[in-house]
Structure 1
Amino acid sequence: MVASLVIGIIFLVAGLGLRYWINRRKFYRRSPMGAEGFSSYESSVFIKLIEKVGKWVAYALIIFGLLSLWVYSREKKEIKTEQPIPTINHN
């Protein structure tokens, strides 16, 4: 039960961190005119491809983290709503 909470938090933070890092790199690569600066055409294509794949990985991490947190909340509700069956003690 606690594992889904820990996994959810780790994956959510990792996904959000990856998105932040990719967007930050993209921001600092821009010139004052707004154009992205690359050293060559090949590096432009390669970096944009890696960033696109990285964004999809980040989305997957965020979704998996949210699903893990949802599973944790469902498990917590199940445990809370389970009531022990009262037993009658006949002496």
Structure 2
Amino acid sequence: MVASLVIGILFLVLGLGLRYWINRRKFYRRDSMGAEGFSSYEKSVAIKFIERLGKWIAYAMIIFGLLSLWAYSHEKKEKKKHMTAVESTH
């Protein structure tokens, strides 16, 4: 039960951190006119592809983290419901 809480928080924080890091890199790559600066076409294509893939991984981590937190809250409610049912029978 506690494992889903820890995993949920961990994946949520890592996913949000990855999104922040990618967006920060993108921001600092821009010049005063707002255009991204790359040293070559190949680097531009490779970096944009890796960043796009990283964003999808970050989205997946965030969703998995939220689902783990939801599972934790669901397990907690079920355990509480079970405990009250056991107490009422005694």
Instruction: Write out per-residue CA displacement over residues 35-66 of structure 1, whole angstroms, 9 at most, x where no aligned residue.
Output: 00001000000000000000000000000000
Gap runs ≥5 in structure 1: none
Gap runs ≥5 in structure 2: none
2:11 aligned residue: 11
Whichever residue aligns with residue 13 of structure 1, its letter is V
1:86 aligned residue: 89
Instruction: Write out per-residue CA displacement over residues 3-60 of structure 1, whole angstroms, 9 at most, x where no aligned residue.
Output: 0000000000000000000000000000010000001000000000000000000000
- Greater gyration radius: 1
TM-score normalized by the length of structure 2: 0.94
TM-score normalized by the length of structure 1: 0.93
Separation (CA, whole Å) in 1 of partners of 2:80 and 2:89:
16
The root-mean-square deviation of aligned C-alpha atoms, in Å, is 0.9
Q: Percent identity?
A: 76
Q: Counting helix residues as a fraction of each chain, which structure ranks higher?
A: 2
The total of aligned residue pairs comes to 87
